[in-house]
Amino acid sequence: MLDEQQTAARAWFEDLRDRICEEFEAIEREAGSDAAFDYLAWWRESGSAKTGPMEEGGGGGGVRGLMKGKVFEKVGVNVSTVGGTFSPEFAKTIHGAEDDPGFFATGISLVAHMTNPHVPAVHMNTRFLVTTKRWFGGGADLNPPLPYAEDTVDFHAAFKAACDAHDPEHYPRFKAWADDYFYIPHRQVHRGVGGIFYDHLEGDFDTNFAFTRAVGEAFLDIFPRIVRRRMGLAWTPQDEAELLTWRGRYAEFNLVYDRGTLFGLKTGGNIDAILMSLPPRVTWA
């Protein structure tokens, strides 16, 4: 059975998903498209068997939301709530699981790849994990093939405001963490223009949960505004070539370095949901 904190976190992530998907579908309608999210529920694999809902003592599962439209070439918005036991080796890499490999995790994960090269791709996730410790993590980063300074400034300003309302030390720390995390060492480039990234935010549940909600609200406020600002711009074949080449860098990062991808694969998650972050089209010259 889920405890009060676990239930509250899961409910928030599911509510945020619903509101994000509603807003993204509204953008599609504004563009003259009737695209809508397709939802697929899944249960977590446990060995060769699928386990049931957490409330019934199972290993949990989630819902994969996917939309392919006119503005959003491919966008995935997933919520999962899973629990179980880490493998001994993987437990050594997880905060608080070194001595006890049991875990609970719930969270939302979003990646949007846009049709128009002038509209930035984006990633956002927030999560709540329970091992022998309890903590929140997450963040968001903007990934434009054709960067606009105005978009970068506005994106960072939205998350700085969310951070500053809770702790003035959050933004400089979490921005630097994002700059370090969203970096592709073998290319020696950042995959985008940054954002914020935080992990192992533990201590007072209510305080940290409030901050995590603020991160989600900041995303829901700023990203649709940036999309609407750029989605009507014309683009050239050269712009699209830049988009497809840039997507290759994004795919490399997610397959080689991304912690969320590794966590999902190591804990028996849904493969289609885990790999929804990969772009629909990509070019390696």
Question: What residues are annotated to the active site?
Answer: 123
Task: Provide the pairing of β-strand 45-46 with 49-50.
Answer: antiparallel
E-assigned strand segments in 52-193: 60-67, 72-85, 102-114, 121-130, 134-143, 183-184, 189-190
- Contacts of 7-10 with CB under 8 Å at 24 or more apart are 8/209, 9/106, 9/128, 9/209, 10/79, 10/81, 10/106
What does the block give as tokens for 179?
Answer: 């700059």
Nearest residue to 200 (alpha-carbon basis) of 84, 82, 96, 75: 96
What does the block give as tokens for 205?
Answer: 């549940």
Query: What's the distance, Cα to Cα, between the start and end of the chain in Å?
Result: 51
Residues 6 or more apart whose Cβ sits within 8 Å of residue 164? 170, 171
CA dist., res. 237 & res. 231, Å (int): 16
The answer to whether the Cα torsion of 234, 240, 244, 245 is positive or negative is negative
Give Cα 276 distance to the centre of its chain: 11
DSSP H or E run through 212: helix 205-230
DSSP H or E run through 211: helix 205-230
